[in-house]
Amino acid sequence: MFEPTRKNIQASDATLLITQTRSVTGTKQNQRDTLRSLGLKRIGHQVTRKADVTTVGMLNTVPHLVSVEEVTHG
């Protein structure tokens, strides 16, 4: 599994499968907004995004609420 942290997540041509693993109840408003911007709506919901600079920044904001896996094509 690929854990987003400022140390090991980088923008690349990779495709990421992002899954919301925890509830937004009790979180800060900017973290709720970040999950919504990623397209996540509920626990267990998954989205696929390119690992660009914007997505990486958003994942670094909410690493405790999501799990991230790199999708391999082929």
**pLDDT at res. 2:** 56
SS3 call for 60: helix
- CATH (domain of 24): 3.30.1390.20
72 within 8 A of 31, measured Cβ to Cβ: no
Domain count, the chain: 1
Q: Would you give the distance in Å from CA 66 to the centre of its chain?
A: 6
40 located within any domain: yes
Residue pLDDT, tens place only, 12-26: 788 999 999 999 999
Q: pTM to 2 decimals?
A: 0.83
Element (H, E) at 71: strand 66-71
* β-sheet bridge partners, residue 65: none
> Which residues in the chain land under pLDDT 70?
1-11, 74
**pLDDT at res. 4:** 54
18 within 8 A of 68, measured Cβ to Cβ: yes
- What is the rounded distance in angstroms from the CA atom of residue 11 to the CA atom of residue 24? 26
Q: Which domain holds residue 24?
A: 15-71
